[in-house]
Amino acid sequence: MRDVYILGLGQTEVGEHWETSLRHLAWMALDAALKDAEIKTPDALFVGNVLAGQLSRQEHLGVLIADFSGLRGIEAATVEAAGASGGMAARQAYLAVASGMVDTALAVGVEKFTDTVGSRATAALTSATDTDWEAAQGATPTAIAALIMRRYMHEFDCTVADFAGFSVNAHANAKTNPNAMFHNTITAEAFAKAPMVADPVNMFDTAPDADGAAAVLLIGADALGKLGLEPSHPLVRIAGSAVATDSLALHDRPDPLFFRAANLSAGRAYKQAGVEPKDISVLELHDAYTVYAALSLEAGGFAPRGMGWRMAMDGGISLKGRTPLSTFGGLKARGNPGGATGVYQIVEAALQLRSEAGANQVADPHWALAQCLGGAGATAVTHILQRMQKV
Amino acid sequence: MRDVYILGLGQTEVGEHWETSLRHLAWMALDAALKDAEIKTPDALFVGNVLAGQLSRQEHLGVLIADFSGLRGIEAATVEAAGASGGMAARQAYLAVASGMVDTALAVGVEKFTDTVGSRATAALTSATDTDWEAAQGATPTAIAALIMRRYMHEFDCTVADFAGFSVNAHANAKTNPNAMFHNTITAEAFAKAPMVADPVNMFDTAPDADGAAAVLLIGADALGKLGLEPSHPLVRIAGSAVATDSLALHDRPDPLFFRAANLSAGRAYKQAGVEPKDISVLELHDAYTVYAALSLEAGGFAPRGMGWRMAMDGGISLKGRTPLSTFGGLKARGNPGGATGVYQIVEAALQLRSEAGANQVADPHWALAQCLGGAGATAVTHILQRMQKV
C-alpha cells in the first residue's frame, strides 16, 4: 500500500448561503483545492453529503458536482454516514489512492441546510438515528444528546456549567477564523445561563446547522514525480485512516457513556500511524454537543473515563494548551455543515501541520487527529495526519 | 495492488416485500453471502442504496445494517450514485480490499420501493436526474428515456416493435430464475401492442421498480491462505473495475445517443482486465429501458453505433447466442430494485462463471461484464469478472 499525501485544501465560509446552489458551493471548495494542489483534473471525486436528497430533492451528487466543475468523465460517487459523511468521503478517496487504482482523488463535503425551514431540516437530520426505534418515538439528535449528557452529569457528578469550557474555547478560536460562522466571544457565565434547547443541552452547547463546503485533494506519494509536481506547500501525510461502528440506537449500547466506535476507530488509526494520544498536537473532534467533545476525548485516550469535561476547565484544550481542540472553532463555532464537517476538520488539521493556520496556529505541530461522528457516535471516522518535510 | 476475488454471493427474491423491513431485507442477502463465503465477520461493509432517506426517512444505512446483522464494530458506509449505487458499493469494496487496508469487504445493495405510493416513489426517483434543470421542468426518468428512444428511432430508422427482442429475451430468462419478479413469457406481438407509459416507452419496455437486496463478499487473494479458507465454490476474480461520468442533464450532451460514461468505464475496465468485447461470454447491462440496452451494447463495443437493437432481433443475446444478455432476466424481468440492481448483476455474472446458474447457465463462460448506470447513463460502473481455477 502506497503512502498518501494531502496536496490541496479548499473551503468556503460556513454560514447561510441562500444565494448559492449546492453544486456551486461544492465547486467553490473543489476549485480552491485543485488550485492549491496545482492540479487540473483529479482521477476521482468522492462527495460527502447527508441531506440533499431529502432537502433539495437531488441525489446523484457525484456526477452533478463533477459535471458542474468541468470534470465530466472522471469517477464520482456520493458517500454517506450521517454526520461522519465528510470523513467517510476522505476515507474513500484515501482507499482509492492507496490502492493504486487512481493517482489523485478529491474528497468534497457539501451541505445546504438553511434554505429549509427548521422543522423539516430537523426531521431530515433525524434520519441519521434509528428511524424505526428512535425517530418514530419522537427522538431528535439533540434529544438523544440530552439523554447522554444528563446521564453523564449523573454518573460523573458534574453540572451544565462544567461543560462551558468547550464552547468558550470554540468561540475564542472561531473569532480569528474568517470561514467560521460565529465570531462572537462567549463567557462561561453566559453559557451557564443560556436558554435550554433540550434540557440539559442549551443554546451555547449545541453546534449550529449550516451551509458550507470543504475539499481535500489526495495524491499517491509516487505520483508526485510521475505527474511532475513540485508542491508549493508543505506536504501532509495521511498516516492513519480508520472507520468503526457501534449500535445505531442509543438504547442498544451496554454503556451509553462510552463512544465505542470512536474508541475503535481511533485505536485502529493510532496503530496504523504508529503513534499514541500523547503524540497528537492538534485535535479536531466532533463537538456537535459539548458532551460529545468530552466523550470523544475519553474514547480517544486523551482523558480517563468521566474526566473529559475537566480538560475544558483548565485551559488544556486552548491553542496554547497541551491538547489544542477545535482550533478553528470546531462544529460549535466554525459551524456544522453536516456532510462537509468531516472534510473541514481535515482541512483545518492540515493547515495546522502546514503552519498556515495564521492567528489560529498551534506551535510546531507534528501530528494531528481529526475524528467525525455519525449519529450519537454510531459511526466514527478517524484520520491521523503527519507533517512531512517537502518531498 | 493485490488481486481481489469474489468469495460469497447472496440475494433475496425481487418483488414486493411489504412485510420485511429494509434492514431485514439487507441482512437476508448479507447473511447468505457470508454463509456462501464461509466467513463470519467481514472487515468492512459498503451499502448501495438510493432512496431510503426519501422513502423510509432512514439515512446512515451502513451502521444500521452492520448493527442489525451482528457486525457492530466493523467499518460501514453507504455509497450512492442513483441507479449505479449497487455497482458503486462493489467498487468501494473492491478499492478497500485492493488497497490492502482490509482483507474482506461486503457490498450489499438494498432498496425498498413498493411500500410507497407510486407518485411519491417517482418523485424520489427523479432526484437521480438534474433536479434544477430536468426534474423541476417535469421530466421523470421514464420521460427522459422516451426522449432518447424517440431520437434513436428517428436517427437509426427503427420502430418500437424493433426493440421487442430485449424484453422477450429478459422474460424468457427470468422464467427459470426463482429470484426474478416476473416469470411470465412475453411475445414480440404483445410488446408491440403494449400500452404506452411515456411514448414511445411502453409497459413492456420499462423495468419494474422493486424491493430486493443482493450481496457480494470480496477477499484479497493473499488473504485466503492467511484466513485459512478453502473455498467450496469456484473462485471468480474481479479483473476490471471502473467508473466514469457524463453530463448529468441530457440536454448538455453533444450526442444524446452515445452513452459516453458507459463507453469510458467499459474501456477502462477492458484495459485493466486485458480483454476485448469479443472475449466476454456473459453480459449484464442496465436494461432499465430497451433503448438503454441498445445504447449500452453500442457503448461497450458489442455493436456498431445505431445497430444495438439489431442484436436483440436475431437471437444473439439469448442464453445460447453469441453474447448472452440479462441472463437471469435483467432489470426488465428480474426486476429493478434501485441501489441493489448493480449488486444483483455481479451476483448473476459470478453464478455464471461458477457454473452455478442452473437452468440459466451459459455454456463454458470465462469472462463476464456487469455494468450499471445512474440516471440516463450519467454514471457508469463496469466490472469485468474472470473464472478462476480453484486456488
Asked whether the beta carbons of B72 and A245 are under 8 A apart, the reply is: yes
What is the band of A350 on the pLDDT scale with cuts at 50, 70, 90?
Answer: very high
Question: Please, which pLDDT band fits residue B314 given cuts at 50, 70 and 90?
Answer: confident
pLDDT tens sequence across A53-84 = 999 999 999 999 999 999 999 999 999 999 99
Average pLDDT of the segment spanning B187-216: 97
User: Which pLDDT does position A390 carry in this prediction?
Assistant: 56
Residue B262 pLDDT > 80, yes or no?
Answer: yes
Rg (CA), chain B: 19
- A190-211 per-position pLDDT tens digit: 999 999 999 999 999 999 999 9
What percent of chain A lies above the pLDDT cut of 90? 96
- Identify any residues that bridge with B242 across adjacent strands, giving them in sequence order: B382
The answer, yes or no, to whether residue B391 has pLDDT greater than 90, is no
Tens-digit pLDDT profile for residues A286-316: 999 999 999 999 999 999 999 999 999 888 9
Does the pLDDT value for residue A391 go beyond 70?
no
pTM of this structure: 0.98
Q: Which pLDDT score, from 0 to 100, does residue A1 have? A: 85
Please answer yes or no on whether B123 and A375 come within 8 Å at the CB atom. no
Question: Is A328 within 8 Å of A360 (Cβ atoms)?
Answer: yes
Q: How far is B159 from chain A (nearest CA, A)?
A: 31
User: How far is residue A349's CA from residue A347's CA, in Å, rounded to a whole number?
Assistant: 6
For residue B313, is pLDDT > 90?
no
Coil, strand, or helix at residue B157? coil
Number of other CB atoms surrounding residue A20 within 10 Å:
16
The fraction of chain B above a pLDDT of 90, given in percent, is: 96
* Helix locations, B38-135, DSSP H: 52-56, 61-68, 85-99, 118-125
Residues 96-125 of A with CB under 8 A from B: 96, 98-101, 123-124
- Which of A53, A59, A72 lies nearest to residue B245, judging by beta carbons? A72
Contact B59 A82 (CB under 8 A): yes
Q: What is the pLDDT of residue B390?
A: 56
Query: Looking at beta carbons, which residues of chain B come within 8 Å of A62?
Result: 80-81, 245, 379
On the question of pLDDT at B387 being above 60, the answer is yes
From the list B72, B74, B99, which residue is nearest A247 (CB)? B72
- Give the rounded percent of residues in chain B with a pLDDT score beyond 70: 99
Q: Give the mean pLDDT of B249-276.
A: 98
Mean per-residue pLDDT of chain A: 96
> Which residues lie across from A104 on neighbouring strands?
A219
Burial B52-85 (b: 16+ CB within 10 A, else e): bbbbbbbbbbbbbbbbbbebbbbbbbbbbbbbbb
A173: helix, strand or coil:
helix
